[in-house]
């Protein structure tokens, strides 16, 4: 729990959600994931980005849920959507057609070039942990205008070398995406519970550009499995405002009541 002199306190998850929400605008068409990305996108819609278009993988277009969905198949999404299309149309027309500006992705592991692993931990044929797999992540990473990655930071997840490359971020860095014919930006922001990373303009290595209040550089280094780099000028992330926290907490409270978990 972080706290400032005015006793406004927040959790690490709330900080990640607020920072993710701030990165969105009313002009965005956003491919939303369940969990923290869904909370962030709806927080943006309920505060500074009322015109944002939210699209869930199940095919709901311009949905405006009053509570957070349990899954992409939650009826709340269809009930509040402008329209619902088939999954093939979602991927072929909307995603592959270049109509989605921002996508959110998580990962079990990430490397310095924002490649993601959601397949296995350990050797592929004898893994210590078998993960859910790719889903639509590789295509989302390739076809959305840009990608925001949200992950809790630790040496277990921020690794020097992935056990398996599920989703291609910036590959080996530099112009690797362009050499493969990818025309989108790829990962432009990595938001963690400690800081914000953005890709170096030339190398595409993810470097720290903003540090959350109460976090030190040593804490970031200790939670990163590669020699982490810091931008020449590193900002301090603005603390969550009273309005942001109030709207976010009310959204979660409504969701818990709706799902009978309050």
Are 198 and 234 contacting, i.e. CB atoms less than 8 angstroms apart? no
Annotated catalytic residue 139: no
Which residue would you say has higher pLDDT here, 6 or 31? 31
pLDDT of residue 8: 63
Q: What would the two tokens of residue 1 be?
A: 């729990």
Strand 195-199 to strand 187-191: parallel, antiparallel, or no bridges (unpaired)?
antiparallel
Give the separation between CA 240 and CA 213, rounded to whole angstroms. Answer: 10
Predicted confidence (pLDDT) at residue 127 exceeds the cutoff of 50: yes
- Half-sphere exposure at residue 198, Cβ-oriented, CA atoms within 13 angstroms: 14
Burial 221-251 (b: 16+ CB within 10 A, else e): eebbbbebeeeeeeeebebbeeebbebbeeb
What average pLDDT does this structure show over 93-112? 95
Q: Which burial class, exposed, middle or buried, applies to 89 when counting CB atoms under 10 A from its CB (0-12, 13-18, 19+)?
A: middle
Q: Please write the tens of the pLDDT for every residue from 198-249.
A: 999 999 999 999 999 999 999 999 999 999 999 999 999 999 999 999 999 9
CA trace torsion 109, 187, 48, 32 (10° rounding): -60
Q: Please write the tens of the pLDDT for every residue from 33-82.
A: 899 999 999 999 999 999 999 999 899 999 999 999 999 889 999 999 99
Q: Which of 3, 14, 57, 139 is catalytic?
A: 57
Give the separation between CA 161 and CA 9, rounded to whole angstroms. Answer: 36
Mean pLDDT for all residues in the chain: 94
Identify the CA nearest to 155 among candidates 109, 204, 203.
109
Q: Which residue carries 């979602």 as its tokens? A: 90
Strand 146-150 to strand 102-105: parallel, antiparallel, or no bridges (unpaired)?
parallel
Predicted confidence (pLDDT) at residue 3 exceeds the cutoff of 90: no
Which of 46-55, 84-93, 189-198 is predicted with the least confidence, judged by mean pLDDT?
Answer: 84-93
Q: What would the two tokens of residue 25 be?
A: 């605008």
pLDDT of residue 121: 96
For the beta carbon of residue 259, count every other beta carbon within 10 angstroms.
Answer: 13
- % of the chain exceeding 70 in pLDDT: 97
Predicted confidence (pLDDT) at residue 96 exceeds the cutoff of 60: yes
Which residue would you say has higher pLDDT here, 57 or 144? 144
Give the separation between CA 220 and CA 17, rounded to whole angstroms. Answer: 19
Give the separation between CA 158 and CA 116, rounded to whole angstroms. Answer: 10
Predicted confidence (pLDDT) at residue 1 exceeds the cutoff of 80: no
Give the separation between CA 191 and CA 211, rounded to whole angstroms. Answer: 10
């Amino acid at each position: 729990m972080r706290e400032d002199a005015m006793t406004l306190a927040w959790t690490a998850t709330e900080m990640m959600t607020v920072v993710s929400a701030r990165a969105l605008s009313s002009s965005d068409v956003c491919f939303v994931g369940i969990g923290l990305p869904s909370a962030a996108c709806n927080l943006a819609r309920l505060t500074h980005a009322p015109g944002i278009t939210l699209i869930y993988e199940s095919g709901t277009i311009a949905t405006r849920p009053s509570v957070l969905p349990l899954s992409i198949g939650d009826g709340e999404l269809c009930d509040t959507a402008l329209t619902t299309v088939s999954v093939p149309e979602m991927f072929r027309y909307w995603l592959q057609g270049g109509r989605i500006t921002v996508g959110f992705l998580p990962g079990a592991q990430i490397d310095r070039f924002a490649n993601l692993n959601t397949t296995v931990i350990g050797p592929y044929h004898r893994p210590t942990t078998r993960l859910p797999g790719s889903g639509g992540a590789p295509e989302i990473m390739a076809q959305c205008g840009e990608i925001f990655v949200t992950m809790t930071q630790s040496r277990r997840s921020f690794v020097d070398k992935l056990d398996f490359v599920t989703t291609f971020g910036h590959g080996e860095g530099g112009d690797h995406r362009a050499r493969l014919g990818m025309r989108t930006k790829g990962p432009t922001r990595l938001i963690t519970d400690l800081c914000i990373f953005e890709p170096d303009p030339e190398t595409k290595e993810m470097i720290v550009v903003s540090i959350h209040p109460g976090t030190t550089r040593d804490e970031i280094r200790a939670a990163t499995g590669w020699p982490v780099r810091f931008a020449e000028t590193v900002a301090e992330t603005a603390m969550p405002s009273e309005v942001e926290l109030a709207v976010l907490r009310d959204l979660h409270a409504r969701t818990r009541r709706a799902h009978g978990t309050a």
